[in-house]
Amino acid sequence: MSGLTAFARFEVARLLGSWKFLAITVGFPVIFYMLFLRDERAGRIVDGAVPWRVYLMVSMCSFGALVSSLNAGGSRLSTERASGWARQLRVTPIPAWSYVATKVAASMVVVLPVVVLVELVGMAFGGVHLGLLSWFELTGLLWVTAVPFAILGIFVGFMVTAETAYPVVTALMFLLGYFGGLFNPVNHMPHALQTTARILPSFHQTSIGLALLDGRGFGIQDTLVLVAYAVVLGLAIVWKHRVEESRGLA
Amino acid sequence: MRNMAVPMASAPRIVPGDDPVIGDADGDPALRFDDVVRRYGEHVALDHLSLQVARGETVALLGPNGAGKSTTISLLLGLLHPHGGTVEVLGTSPRRAVAEGRVGAMLQTGSGSGLPPGVRVASVLQLVRRLYRHPAPFELTVERAGIGALLGRSTHRLSGGQAQRVRFAVAIAGDPDLVFLDEPTAAMDVESRRSFWCMMRQFGEEGRTIVFATHHMQEADQIADRVVVVNHGRVVANGPGATLKAAVAARHLRFVTGHPDERLLDSLEGVTDVVVRGTGVDLRSLDADATIRALVHRGVAFCDLEVTGAGLEDAFVALTGSDRTPDDEQAP
């Protein structure tokens, strides 16, 4: 297993060593939080019993996880696959599945500090006060539920070419962000958009975090949707890998 | 097993009295390719190809693009499965040999560098070493591949030839018994090509088995103990470089003579083959000058003498039936 550990560390170091990746991943959620925090919704109760500044903190954690995951996979991954490196790894002793697994794991490792950072910003600038246990619960929950995003990022890297990955990632970031209600509470949206939001993983991840905070407890439905996304995207990657393998490309 | 720190001074693995080529106790060949068929849809890439390589041998797979060289290497690495026949590497399945870290490879990467973008060369090499259970010492691999000056460089700041050397280091970092190189010098200029092969030859002299694909006839001839010429998914010639050289040096002498004496013609210096059609004679000679002198000396009355010639390209064309010379073609 030491080979896989080394591989995972290598991947995490690559992500954290890229200032471009860090700037986008950390910059977007923090800047949007600061930007939207003081608008006319400030202080208003927007969802159940949760005020806007708390809602926004949770949704920006979710957005941070989304941005981080899509950029950890996305064009970085498709470029790497095009370079032949992924194929080179196939002729080393590490098993075939470990490439995707390590990518997902590395992406998950990077998501955690992003979530924590947005929470710190919420604490410092948004005046969000929670008990210590709640902070831990929220952080853990938002982190674990980022798995579908991590898989989505890898999925995009597998499906698109290096040239098209960039616009696809940008589009997904804002479509999932906006229509998932990360910038604007879903129950303030027109009915059609509310329905759309309910099929998006971003909506359900934010919702699961908010449910924890306003005392609704654990969102079973949210969990099921997120698990379904993780499984379907995971299977799609496996399928794509199989196809490439049968042609000797993987 | 072998994990020696001193590369150049390592003891030769072939000891007099031992089995001359197959030096290992278990006696398995390094690889066995038996009646292998591989198709891509309707296209037959390998057509009942059989091939065997002994341990310690350096073998070149020579052929034009699309001949089946890369497919052969992909099968030997377990990246592809055969549709028929058996593939065995170091006495086991290709996948297993790879998983055990006994095989290293430099694959064709097309336009890519074959390396992770934006990482220092040293980090890549450190990582690859850690993927193997018994890697070669870091400094040794650096020295073998001659990449000491590149260690601090980022992978996207390497020239084609430099990237190729780093990929060679990646291929040998795990101290493999068997190394596959698919068109390893594709992106190199003449000088880097020369130093690359020098490096490779040293590596091979340490008792390792090396199989490389190339469409450069000279590379195959100069580097390999044995050249396997592949075309249309079949082995069309298989033998030491010298045999190939002989084919290369051969000339055809065509002339007309009154009463051709086949036995006499066959005894002439340099002649390896005689074809007589009526009064027309076609001699295949390894030394055209000597054969012509002998013709005169023996008093053979000939006219309409024509000497044609089998250059490197002609020999290749003859062997592969390809109308393009190997060096015309570039790796994809």
Under 8 Å between Cβ of B115 and B154: no
Under 8 Å between Cβ of A124 and A47: no
Residue B2 pLDDT: 42
Q: How far apart are CA B138 and CA B175, in angstroms?
A: 10
Among B80, B103, B117, whose Cβ lies nearest the Cβ of A83? Answer: B117
Residue B104 pLDDT: 95
Q: How confident is the model at residue B315 (pLDDT cuts 50, 70, 90)?
A: low
Q: What is the pLDDT of residues B152-183, one digit of tens each?
A: 999 989 988 899 999 999 999 999 999 999 98
Q: How confident is the model at residue A230 (pLDDT cuts 50, 70, 90)?
A: very high
Q: Look at residue B244 and tell me whether its pLDDT is greater than 80.
A: no
Among A3, A14, A85, whose Cβ lies nearest the Cβ of B114? Answer: A85
Indicate the residue among B182, B214, B237 that finishes a domain.
Answer: B237
State mean pLDDT over B254-261: 90
A41-55, A185-199, B200-214: the lowest-pLDDT one: A41-55
Residue B267 pLDDT: 87
Does residue B122 share a domain with residue B43? yes
Does residue B293 share a domain with residue B182? no
B103 in A contact zone (CB under 8 Å): yes
Does residue B284 share a domain with residue B222? no
Under 8 Å between Cβ of B236 and B230: yes
How many domains does chain B divide into?
A: 2
CATH classification at residue B295? 3.30.70
Q: How confident is the model at residue B307 (pLDDT cuts 50, 70, 90)?
A: confident
State mean pLDDT over A181-196: 88
Does residue B78 share a domain with residue B190? yes
Q: Which residues of B touch A83 (CB under 8 A)?
A: 109, 112-117
Residue A240 pLDDT: 92
Does residue B220 share a domain with residue B191? yes
Q: Which ipTM was obtained for this model?
A: 0.88
Does residue B161 share a domain with residue B58? yes
Residue B16 pLDDT: 34
Among A6, A14, A87, whose Cβ lies nearest the Cβ of B131? Answer: A6
With an 8 Å Cβ cutoff, are B105 and A95 in contact? no
Task: Determine the structural domain holding residue B304 and report its residue range.
Answer: 251-309
Element (H, E) at B208: none
Q: What is the pLDDT of residues B121-133, one digit of tens each?
A: 999 999 999 999 9
Residue B150 pLDDT: 95
Order of strands, edge to edge, in the sheet holding B103-106? B103-106, B178-182, B209-214, B58-62, B226-231, B234-239
A250 in B contact zone (CB under 8 Å): yes
Residue B323 pLDDT: 47
Average pLDDT, chain A: 91
Angle separating helix axes A98-125 and A147-159, nearest 10 degrees: 130
Q: Look at residue A112 and tell me whether its pLDDT is greater than 80.
A: yes
Indicate the residue among B212, B237, B262 that finishes a domain.
Answer: B237
A14 in B contact zone (CB under 8 Å): yes
In the numeric block, the tokens 């080529």 are attached to B21
Average pLDDT, chain B: 82
With an 8 Å Cβ cutoff, are A91 and B112 in contact? no
Residue B269 pLDDT: 85
Eight-state DSSP code of residue B42: T
Residue of B nearest to A84 (CA): B114
State mean pLDDT over B249-265: 86
Residues B34, B37, B38, CA angle at the centre, nearest 5°?
Answer: 130
Q: Look at residue B248 and tell me whether its pLDDT is greater than 80.
A: no
Q: How confident is the model at residue B102 (pLDDT cuts 50, 70, 90)?
A: very high
With an 8 Å Cβ cutoff, are A95 and B99 in contact? yes
Q: Look at residue B4 and tell me whether its pLDDT is greater than 60.
A: no
State mean pLDDT over A36-54: 80
Q: How confident is the model at residue A1 (pLDDT cuts 50, 70, 90)?
A: low
Q: What does the domain layout of chain A look like in residue ranges?
A: 2-246
Eight-state DSSP code of residue B156: G
Q: pLDDT above 90 covers what percent of chain B?
A: 43
State mean pLDDT over B176-202: 87
Q: Which residues of A touch B130 (CB under 8 A)?
A: 2-3, 6-7
Q: Which residues contact B265 (CB under 8 A, 6 or more apart)?
A: B271, B274, B276, B281, B283, B300
Q: Look at residue A216 and tell me whether its pLDDT is greater than 60.
A: yes
State mean pLDDT over A54-68: 95
Does residue B92 share a domain with residue B221? yes
**Bridge partners of B257?**
B302
Q: Look at residue B13 and tell me whether its pLDDT is greater than 50.
A: no
Q: How confident is the model at residue B316 (pLDDT cuts 50, 70, 90)?
A: low
Does residue B267 share a domain with residue B149? no
How far does the CA of residue B57 sit from the closest CA of chain A (Å)?
Answer: 21
With an 8 Å Cβ cutoff, are A80 and B117 in contact? yes
Indicate the residue among B177, B205, B237 that finishes a domain.
Answer: B237
Residue B262 pLDDT: 87
CATH classification at residue B83? 3.40.50.300
Q: How confident is the model at residue A156 (pLDDT cuts 50, 70, 90)?
A: very high
Neighbours of A114 (CB within 10 A): 27
A216 in B contact zone (CB under 8 Å): no
Q: What is the pLDDT of residues B52-78, one digit of tens each?
A: 999 999 999 988 778 899 999 999 999
Does residue B270 share a domain with residue B162? no
How far does the CA of residue B34 sit from the closest CA of chain A (Å)?
Answer: 20
Residue B320 pLDDT: 61
Does residue B230 share a domain with residue B258? no
Eight-state DSSP code of residue B154: B
Among B99, B114, B131, whose Cβ lies nearest the Cβ of A83? Answer: B114
Does residue B267 share a domain with residue B146? no
pTM of the model: 0.80
Under 8 Å between Cβ of B285 and B251: yes
Residue B231 pLDDT: 85
Please name which of A87, A67, A225 lies closest in space to residue A152, comparing C-alpha atoms. Answer: A67
